[in-house]
Chain A
């Protein structure tokens, strides 16, 4: 009798699709399958097997074929996908499509199953004399015997590229995986040793590692990973998008020269990502290093999860399935029964609150790791007393002059790229608004273009004001290009390098720029948050922060948290080696309490004040949010739909629904956007409500032009 398979297809519909199959076995669960879809075909995953279908037999279609030879995606992986779908109220098929590799899956290769490094076994040693000299197997064994363990790729080239001989040697028990070794390791500080001692080798245990900038958090990660790998287990290390540099990967590679390290991030080509994914699934990869999507990599021998810079916004996906990789990593660790370490110099307030309430155990690194290195001295420059010319105040210019004369590096931080944030006409009042968004287009002088940083639209700079014909239109305000120009005029002999998303287009660009800074081929760096994180520039001793005030008075309740994290990170670039560093922050509001905490390097004090405010205001982490967002060419349509959604909810107990309102950034790419905030004091209550409500939303009359999505635990409201 034919069976029914229920398939997860990559569609934004919250259901599985039934197909008949000649036979359906439990081992087919998690296999990729090709099915008919309308007049064409689609690829999906077999999610359930059933005996009966609700679909009428004459309408039930048959699967076309099982796809590929890769093993089925395991039950724990499917459970993680299901949890993600149910917690974030996203369609299962969409989550599955996100979590599994896309494109065509490469056929399994022998070489993927071979250890990364090999050595000869006693049996191999015994067999060696009996082998004919011309045999490839003999050459391979002889090399392993004479030169000791070898890298797989060297042996492959010895065997003229064929993996069959090596697989044969493995099968005969003549070679084996070479023993685990580590590269050169620095001595641990007593603080680091204490932290390592606190983390157990197994069993679910969540830790928050609060380590000041330069305190050697990465070394902790390396040692923990070493412990997992030495025990023959796997580790997962998640890092923010911006921090996954070739340098970081190289650091892990040189520490674990014989380990198979798999990179999983959006920059990895589809085929390579799939190979890494299945290498991890097969247990052949030892370490998975990646950005948020790596949280879905299946790891049968998982022993440890690390989330570096756990506060970073990039762990929360902002489109499609709006999941938080950090939060899913916690769930994964608890289900797998392994320790997890969340590390940061400025933890997310959610995580800090978990540490305060003892849900996470707090580990601290309060001193810099390099002997003699101290945290930089932070000073404020009161812009009310020292007027800034072209964005730079005299005290900052004086400090730059002095640092330049001393032959040291400086960094000028300004989180705004382009030349000027707006082009305007003083004669008639025209400003360079974006046609598609409620935002101004930014003047990029080097490219002579006006660009919207929200929708990406770009146009050449007009020769004259479109409103009145005046040619003398000007850029107002300052971006990194303008600061670079100004510094170059002021310090003609200085070597100035600008680092932002315009000057750095690829990982290679960034690598080259970072190398130039480290080689001291640069005197003054001008840049955005791109260079605030993770980079270690030993000769950098002065940091100037230009427009910190921009987010001091933002309406977003998370703005102070983000600003503080950013300032701590950028300040943390100064004085990481022995030389003392200093940080100058230009501000019009030197009395702001955020700065008082910053000057004292007092994250706990800042966090306590912020948490008190959040508690008083009933904001996360003391409440749980979900945001229903709708967008349409017409604002009224979006608001009407949200109003209907709100009416659908009635007046639930434990859950509070606010009024639909236009979003702060009202218009984006020709769509008018509105939102409806849902709040509850309890996560479980919110989830119970959402489950019913979202089902109703799918059934709601929805104009064809309208799009909606739900964001659980939104990063911004």
Chain B
């Protein structure tokens, strides 16, 4: 996870990498799913998010956009997250 930074207008931003682990059904058969996602979070929650210890398990919602005009790599823009207590 990157350090908290700010947009020129002053909104906090945090970006980094999320690791996803789950089991999903694929054509009727359960399988393990693992993947990594670049993520970005802008707004008041960013400070809270940046303070989470690495390894915290989260449920995130948001949308995917490409990184820039020059890169089609997807970035998950988190608009909502919940810390999973276990």
Contact = CB atoms under 8 A, between A and B. Distances in A.
B69 A475 contact: no
A592 interface: no
Contact of A423 (B8, B11, B68): B8
Contacts of B42: 471-472
A238 to B, nearest CB: 42
Nearest to A475: B8
Q: Which of B8, B10, B40, B65 has the most CB of A within 10 A?
A: B8
B8 A426 contact: no
A647 interface: no
A473 B11 CA distance: 11
A75 interface: no
A64 interface: no
B13 interface: yes
A195 B67 CA distance: 65
A24 B43 CA distance: 78
B5 to A, nearest CB: 9
A427 B65 contact: yes
B9 A472 contact: no
A419 B65 CA distance: 28
Contact of B11 (A419, A427, A463): A463
B69 A472 contact: no
Contacts, number: 40
Interface in B17-57: 40, 42-43
A559 B13 CA distance: 41
B11 A471 contact: yes
A427 B68 CA distance: 4
Contacts of B67: 426
Q: Which of A428, A429, A472 has the most CB of B within 10 A?
A: A472
A114 interface: no
Contacts of A423: 8
Given A472-B13, A472-B40, A472-B42, A443 B8 contact: yes
Interface residues of B, number: 15
B68 A473 contact: no
A445 interface: yes
B69 A474 contact: no
Given A471-B42, A472-B40, A428 B69 contact: yes
Nearest to B65: A427
A462 interface: yes
Given A472-B40, A472-B42, A462 B69 contact: no
A471 B79 CA distance: 13
A472 B10 contact: no
A461 B68 contact: no
A599 B66 CA distance: 47
Given A426-B68, A426-B69, A429-B69, A462 B9 contact: yes
A426 B69 CA distance: 6
Contacts of A475: 8
Contacts of B40: 472
A463 B11 CA distance: 8
A380 B34 CA distance: 50
Contact of A474 (B8, B10, B11, B70): B8
Contacts of B13: 471-472
Contacts of B65: 427
Interface string A669-697: 00000000000000000000000000000
B63 to A, nearest CB: 12
Interface string A440-477: 00010100100000000000111110000001111100
A372 to B, nearest CB: 47
Q: Which of B7, B11, B40, B70 has the most CB of A within 10 A?
A: B7
A472 B66 CA distance: 13
A462 B11 CA distance: 11
Nearest to A450: B8
Nearest to B13: A472
A187 B23 CA distance: 89
Contacts of B69: 426-429
A463 B7 CA distance: 8
Nearest to A474: B8
Contacts of B66: 427
Contacts of A471: 7, 9, 11, 13, 42-43
Contacts of A460: 9
Interface in A461-502: 461-464, 471-475
Interface in A419-447: 419, 423, 426-429, 443, 445
B72 to A, nearest CB: 12
A448 B8 contact: yes
A448 B7 contact: no
Nearest to A428: B69
Contacts of A463: 7, 9, 11
Contacts of B7: 463, 471-474
Contacts of B10: 448
A229 B16 CA distance: 72
B9 to A, nearest CB: 4
Contacts of A426: 67-70
A474 B65 CA distance: 17
A669 B17 CA distance: 45
A462 B67 CA distance: 20
A475 B70 CA distance: 17
Given A471-B42, A472-B42, A448 B9 contact: yes
Contacts of A473: 7-8
A461 B68 CA distance: 21
A135 B70 CA distance: 90
B40 to A, nearest CB: 7
A186 B45 CA distance: 66
A461 B11 CA distance: 11
A606 B7 CA distance: 45
Contacts of A419: 8
B11 to A, nearest CB: 6
Interface string A149-174: 00000000000000000000000000
Contact of A461 (B8, B43, B70): B8
A475 to B, nearest CB: 6
A660 B75 CA distance: 50
26 contacts: A419-B8, A423-B8, A426-B67, A426-B69, A426-B70, A427-B66, A427-B69, A443-B8, A448-B8, A448-B9, A448-B10, A460-B9, A461-B8, A463-B7, A463-B11, A464-B9, A471-B9, A471-B13, A471-B42, A472-B7, A472-B13, A472-B40, A473-B7, A473-B8, A474-B7, A475-B8
Q: Which 6 pairs between the two chains have the least Cβ-Cβ distance?
A: A426-B68, A463-B9, A461-B8, A461-B9, A471-B42, A429-B69
Given A427-B68, A472-B7, 19 more contacts: A423-B8, A426-B67, A426-B69, A427-B65, A427-B69, A443-B8, A445-B8, A460-B9, A461-B8, A461-B9, A462-B9, A463-B11, A471-B9, A471-B11, A471-B43, A472-B13, A472-B42, A473-B8, A474-B7
